[in-house]
Structure 1
Amino acid sequence: MELMKNVQAWTEGVEVEWDAMQQIRNIAGLPILAGHVAVMPDVHLGKGATVGTVIPTRSAIIPAAVGVDIGCGMCAVRTELRGDALPDSLAKVRSTIEAAVPVGFDLHAKEPNPTNEGPHGRDLRARMQALYSRFEQLGILAVLGRLDARRIWRQLGTLGGGNHFIELCLDEGGVVWVMLHSGSRNIGKTIGEAAIGMAREAAHRAGIGLPDKDLAWLNEGTPEFAQYVEALQWAQDYAALNRELMLFRVMNALRDTLGAEVAATTQVVNCHHNYATVEDHFGSKVWITRKGAVSAREGQLGIIPGSMGTRSYIVRGKGNPLAYCSCSHGAGRRMSRGAAKRLFDLEALASQTRGVECRKDAGVLDEIPGAYKDIDTVMAAQAELVDVVHTLKQVLCVKG
């Protein structure tokens, strides 16, 4: 990528489309920036702000930079199961997982109730109850309009669609990992869209000219900012719990299909990659928005997935200050979903996902591995940001 003012990029050897570069220029020129914009190697065009960027702001947040899938992220756990203990066909395992975890627009028939599943289940239930209580106090509810409360709670522990997934992977030692990717579901989308609208209205009232209306921000000290931050933090907690509930159900599905207890080790990672939080950088407290980026402080574990036919990585952060202690959140798309459907066919999908138990139909063609950047090139470009701890290769993938 050509050098830009107020930009630090880790994109050597990685293709970056012109439209994404223009979005980065727009962000880098905003008056609320509290430093340079950090660009990750998986960067690509997004709504308002590029996916794969870390944006520091002073006393303000850009809701569209956080995005509408607030708290979207990854969860992974290393099990005590070895790959040679898996059955030759994983079709039954996949169907059992799909029955346990609703995908796409589906949701639970009734609110999840994990209390009868031991200490972990009771802890999850207690956290759900805390979310209920906090939700009823959210100030942003006044601008969200009518909500289907039952839908909000029945979507806890569901996958969603798009690039969300559940995978069984083998690491370099043949050990089985469970890995999944999801966020705050429809309620996070509703909060995000409301906040984007609030920011646009605030910019209009203030007469602020913007290169893109989706770069409008909310200023600290205003009622709108306070409402958004409260709802943002709630949605991030909802997303993290959503992933843990799914992980809980996947582990139970493995137990049911394999006929034995599948224990998890203590190595569990649960990280956001669409979120905002206050952090200390270069001696100042600033808002850090990671839009498609993962926190990678020194020693911190994170997850960088490839695609449904390539490798993924468990990484340990190096705490690079220029990257605001961040790394990429995946391989990053190299083409739009529409372009992928035009360029590839089902034969290509079957070829690129050979050896993986997964859907191979037109409904997931836009998620074909060829639509993503090369994960090894992306990893090489961020060698200054993370060290690889484990290399994972999926053997089963459930797509939304």
Structure 2
Amino acid sequence: MPVRVGDHKLLSFASSVDDNTIAQALETASMPFVHPHVALMPDAHFGLGSAVGTVIPTVDAVIPAAVGVDIGCGMIAARTTLTHNDIADRDLAALRKSIESAIPLSPGNYNSNLGRYAFTQGRVAALETMATERGVDLGHSPKWREQLGSLGGGNHFIELCLDEADTVWMFLHSGSRGVGNRIAKRHIKRAQKLCRQWHITLPNDDLAYLPTGTPDLEVYLRDLAWAQAFAFENRAEMMDRFRQALAHWSGRTVDELEVDRVNCHHNYTVRERHGGKDVWLTRKGAVDAHEGVRAVIPGSMGSRSYVVRGKGNAAGLCSAPHGAGRRFSRREARARFTADDLAEAMAGIEYRHGDAWVDEIPAAYKDIDQVMADAVDLVEVEYTLRQILNVKGT
């Protein structure tokens, strides 16, 4: 059950959350256009702009920094026809290297050739058409086409997983890459400039907003929709490449390999109705959990992940957590843990060894079992997945 924090418009579903995160969420909830309340998800932690794991419904205004700089970041999972027995005697390291060849990893790494896969051009063309028809200016990102189908860094990852029945799943996490980042920063700066011009007092600059009726909000929503579409297609593009690699490695044909797919955002804004009003609902580190809606909730790189269905919980603003949530910052994780600690935590999982990923060690994240226990009123679990292969960008 959620807990109301003081007399404020903040409901928390988190059984374990630090004071800084609560304070940040309270600042967001204090904005006068929030309705009916801000919902803090079980995986909430301190973030840039607003706390990660915050669901923010706003009337006649949108806060660009609350959406964040990785517009449309999210998850995609695909169930295959393979079982563990089908791949038990195959070399997972070879599959990992094939994936790393097919999908550019790490910030700044893009595709050098857009013609390698037949399906890429269709996605590029659709995004070009959307940008042209809606007047989206992408002059700030001339390389956005080359970014499509690239992973990025941080906690973005690609995994091969098994469910409870030992069925093989493809699984990955990414967003709108550099083009989404530039779109976000452009509009965050614009909102901050306008709020200063209008002499609006804010709890902090990252709560600067764009109000309804201004051309600035119209432009932001237009650009936001394109960036969210890019992020969705970016995940789909990588999943199609992952499927090609898995089919070749496993000896199956591409057409017979995949039987189910779930693709969902967890950093985005959408028009929804809550508390009897039409609002702009920003999910910053949260997934859509309307009744029956499917979503994906990952754990850390060495723990379980989940495919879920929403329960449509009104108090939770029909939302659910987006993952395990960090316990320690990246800097603190590097101070606490070593590459040997990571190797021990990743025993039995194929991954690239080294200290580049120490800040992603499972111990740097909250207990995913506790997060899911806190989310029992928000979602029901459809599949539980465990990793056998992990690929990360630095």
Q: Alpha-carbon deviations, 1:89-112, whole Å to 9, x = none?
A: 310000000000000031111225
CA distance in 1, matches of 2:54, 2:115: 35
Contact 1:77-1:264 at 8 Å conserved across structures: no
Contact 1:112–1:154 (CA under 8 A) maintained in structure 2? no
Distance 1:361 1:231 in 2: 38
Task: Give the CA deviation at 1:148.
Answer: 4.3
**Aligned match of 1:378:** 371
Counterpart selection for 2:281 from 288, 301, 304: 288
**AA of the residue aligned to 1:128:** V
- The answer to whether the aligner puts 1:258 opposite 2:250 as a matched pair is yes
Partner residue, 2:82: 81
Counterpart Cα distance in 2 of 1:176 and 1:41:
28
Letter in 2 for 1:72: C
Q: 1:197: how far off?
A: 0.3
CA distance in 2, matches of 1:266, 1:61: 38
The code of the aligned residue for 1:297 comes to: H
Indicate if the aligned counterparts of 1:112 and 1:156 stay in contact, CA closer than 8 A: no
Amino acid at match of 2:76: C
Gaps in structure 1 of 5+ consecutive residues: 116-120
Looking at structure 1, the residues matched to 115 and 68 of structure 2 have their Cα atoms a distance apart, in angstroms, of 27
RMSD of aligned Cα (Å): 1.5
Secondary structure of the structure 2 residue equivalent to 1:365: helix
Seq. identity, %: 46
Query: How many angstroms apart in 2 are the aligned matches of 1:55 and 1:139?
Result: 27
Distance 2:252 2:216 in 1: 51
Counterpart CA distance in 1 for 2:194 and 2:252 is 57
Give the conservation status (yes or no) of the 8 Å contact 2:140–2:182.
Answer: no
Say yes or no: does 1:214 pair with 2:215: no
In the alignment, structure 1 residue 238 sits paired with structure 2 residue 227: no
SS of 1:322's equivalent in the other structure is coil
The amino acid across from 1:11 in the alignment is: A
Task: Describe how 1:244-323 pairs up with structure 2 within 5 A.
Answer: 244-262=236-254, 263-323=256-316
Q: Give the residue type in structure 2 aligned to 1:94.
A: R
User: What's the counterpart of residue 97 of structure 1?
Assistant: 99
Q: Structure 1-normalised TM-score?
A: 0.94
Aligned to 1:106: 109
CA shift in 2, pair 1:2/1:286, >3 Å: closer
User: How does 1:61-76 map onto structure 2 within 5 Å?
Assistant: 61-76=62-77
Number of residue pairs aligned between Structure 1 and Structure 2: 387
| CA displacement 1:157-203 (0-9 Å, x = unmatched) | 11000000010000000000000000000000000000100110111
Quick one: which amino acid aligns to residue 298 of structure 1? E
CA offset at residue 261 of structure 1?
1.9
Instruction: Tell me by how many angstroms 1:126 deviates.
Output: 3.3
Q: Give how far 1:280 is off.
A: 1.3
1:198 aligns with 2:190: yes
1:338 is aligned to: 331
> What secondary structure does 1:302 align onto?
strand
What is the distance in 2 between the residues matched to 1:103 and 1:83? 27
Paired with 1:137 and 1:193, the residues of 2 have a C-alpha distance of 23
Hey, what does 2:47 align to over in structure 1? 46
| Contact 2:4/2:12, CA 8 A, preserved across alignment | no
**Aligned equivalent of 1:118:** none
For 1:360 and 1:191, the matched residues in 2 are separated by 34
Letter in 2 for 1:134: M
Q: Which one of the candidate residues 203, 219, 224 is aligned to 2:216?
A: 224
Task: Indicate conservation of the 8 Å contact 1:113/1:125, yes or no.
Answer: no
**1:7 equivalent among 7, 10, 22:** 10
CA deviations 1:226-282 (Å, max 9, x no partner) are 110000000000000000000000010112222322534442100000000100123
Partner amino acid, structure 1, of 2:33: I
1:391 aligns with 2:393: no
The one-letter code of the counterpart of 1:377 is: Q
| Structure 2: gaps spanning 5 or more residues | none
Is the 1:48–1:215 Cα contact (8 Å) retained in structure 2? yes
Residue 127 of structure 1 deviates from its aligned partner by 3.6
1:360 to 349, 353, 364: 353
Task: Provide the C-alpha distance between the structure 2 equivalents of 1:103 and 1:125, rounded to a whole number of angstroms.
Answer: 20
For the 8 Å contact 1:70–1:184, the answer to whether it is kept is: yes
Query: What SS class does the counterpart of residue 8 from structure 1 fall into?
Result: strand
Query: Which deviates more, 129-138 or 30-39?
Result: 129-138
TM-score, length-normalised on structure 2?
0.95
Amino acid at match of 1:95: K
CA distance in 2, matches of 1:282, 1:82: 45
Query: Any idea what SS the aligned residue of 1:130 has?
Result: helix
Distance in 2 between the 1:2 and 1:325 partners?
17
Q: Hey, what's the Cα distance between the residues in 1 that align with 2:91 and 2:245?
A: 15
Alpha carbons 2:298, 2:322 under 8 Å: kept: yes
